[in-house]
Amino acid sequence: MDINQANQTAAERMMEARPILKGVATARDVIPGMQDNLLMHAGPPIEWDRMSGPMRGAVIGALIFEGLAKDEAAAVAMVEAGEVEFDPCHHHESVGPMAGVTSASMKVYVLENETHGNSAYSNLNEGYGKVLRYGAYSQEVIDKLKWMNDVMGPILADALEKSEGIDIRALLSESLHMGDEGHNRNKAGSILYTAKLAPLIAKVAKDQNDEAEILQFLGDNALSVLNPVMAACKAMADAAHGVEGSTMVTTMARNGTDFGIRVSGLDGEWFTAPVEQPDGLYFPGFTSEDASGDIGDSTITETTGIGAYAMATAPAIVQFISGSPQDALNATLEMYEITVAEHKYFTIPNLEFRGTPTGTDIRKVVELGIPPRINTGIAHKDAGVGQVGAGLVRPPMKIFEEAVIAYAKKYNL
């Protein structure tokens, strides 16, 4: 068996996937296996008793949002009575940033990979401040979710229905030439996204104030496009999964407790270990003492060759996550060591338009002792608080070692 050839096939599928944002719909109507008592969450599988603070907070908030629980106590009682099912977003063609908790009534982005035909989904981005994805669940959090679901969501749905869809891979190609790395810095992508949506929204919105509010919300939120980008990356990663013999990583995801990876040639098996603590810059009033462990499906960006892997495109990001522009360049250069391809569509002007390092090879990670690099937001460790900073983290090396062992076993090496 030619492992390198298998990896080239997997990388080629990842790069040639062309995810188009086709619409916005209600999760229960489109996401495979969605049920009214199911909460999807970020990262590998986890049960309530091992969930981190921000994940618990998001679970409580989602149950209140759904009207299944009237408050925190009722939500916790429901969960403890076994009335709520949990399952990773990743098991449902979905991804969600930070806690990633997505419930049946929530509006989600619908993406289709025009090359290979698979779909992917992600919830809508809530912006900054007190937000469910960081584990906050106060009334203002629920109110904003309801506005997003009842006012913004339907208008986005109508607007996208009038369009030919938005090519998110093309948008990323462009935003990577505009100082974004596509994970923690999506400033350019988010305004490109807003500018593309604006004329579509203008055509369908019936109320000028709603319209103005939506355009303001999308334009002011430098993460507006993160969720469609993540779903696009999920579509790319899924297209690359299941290539017989490939040692390429197709999932990296964290639930705040465990970091999990999956490998293209190893079916759906998760390799997990306790998450590390991100290292970065904290908002005023917070320190590393306040930080939750690493959390979120947003590592799907690094999985597909952007995020920290493309940090050389985003020197200005160091103002947000610490370090120097040279560190940003070095991060990308290091990732070439552990990847199998240079991206055909994501290029780095500063490196003479070299393609971003794409497709992590578990063999190289273990042989060289270089785990992937990840840019991330940092959540407060307690339920109900929210974001406290942003920084850098790596997955535990152990999960790559275990994946290599499992690979050797499966393929009798």
Residues interacting with a copy of itself, by CB under 8 A?
174, 177-180, 187-188, 191-192, 194-196, 198-203, 205, 208-209, 211-213, 215-216, 218-219, 315-316, 318-319, 324-325, 349-353
CA–CA distance, 306 with 127 (Å, rounded to integer): 21
Structure-token pair, residue 153: 């969501």
Largest CA distance in the chain: 64
Kind and range of the H or E run holding 6: helix 3-16
Assess contact for 138 and 244: CB atoms under 8 A. no
Structure-token pair, residue 303: 């999985």
Alpha-carbon torsion 374, 174, 128, 73, what sign?
negative
Report the residue number, 162 or 409, with the smaller CB distance to a copy of itself. Answer: 162
Assess contact for 189 and 359: CB atoms under 8 A. no
Q: How far is the CB of 319 from a copy of itself (least distance, A)?
A: 8
For residue 23, the cross-strand partners are 110
Report the residue number, 197 or 230, with the smaller CB distance to a copy of itself. Answer: 197
Question: Which residue in 21, 221, 215, 15 sits closest to 126, CA to CA?
Answer: 221
Q: How far is the CB of 321 from a copy of itself (least distance, A)?
A: 13
Q: How far is the CB of 216 from a copy of itself (least distance, A)?
A: 4
CA–CA distance, 56 with 122 (Å, rounded to integer): 19
Q: How far is the CB of 75 from a copy of itself (least distance, A)?
A: 35
Q: Which residues of 252-267 are buried (b: 16+ CB within 10 A; e: fewer)?
A: bbbbbbbbbbbbbbbe
Assess contact for 24 and 17: CB atoms under 8 A. no
Report the residue number, 281 or 406, with the smaller CB distance to a copy of itself. Answer: 281
Q: How far is the CB of 163 from a copy of itself (least distance, A)?
A: 11
Report the residue number, 215 or 406, with the smaller CB distance to a copy of itself. Answer: 215
Structure-token pair, residue 21: 């944002």
Structure-token pair, residue 182: 């596509």
Report the residue number, 25 or 281, with the smaller CB distance to a copy of itself. Answer: 281
Report the residue number, 139 or 353, with the smaller CB distance to a copy of itself. Answer: 353
Q: How far is the CB of 42 from a copy of itself (least distance, A)?
A: 29
Q: How far is the CB of 166 from a copy of itself (least distance, A)?
A: 12
Report the residue number, 34 or 176, with the smaller CB distance to a copy of itself. Answer: 176
Assess contact for 184 and 377: CB atoms under 8 A. yes
Q: How far is the CB of 311 from a copy of itself (least distance, A)?
A: 12
Report the residue number, 25 or 178, with the smaller CB distance to a copy of itself. Answer: 178
Residue 60 backbone phi and psi in degrees, to 5? -60, -45
Report the residue number, 37 or 319, with the smaller CB distance to a copy of itself. Answer: 319
DSSP annotation string for 211-267:
HHHHHHHHHH-TTTTHHHHHHHHHHHHHHHTT-TT--BEEEEEEESSEEEEEETTST
Q: How far is the CB of 159 from a copy of itself (least distance, A)?
A: 10
Report the residue number, 354 or 394, with the smaller CB distance to a copy of itself. Answer: 354
Q: How far is the CB of 349 from a copy of itself (least distance, A)?
A: 4
Q: Walk across the sheet containing 119-123 and list its strands.
A: 94-95, 119-123, 107-113, 19-26, 166-167
Supply the DSSP symbol for 284: T
Structure-token pair, residue 33: 């296996």
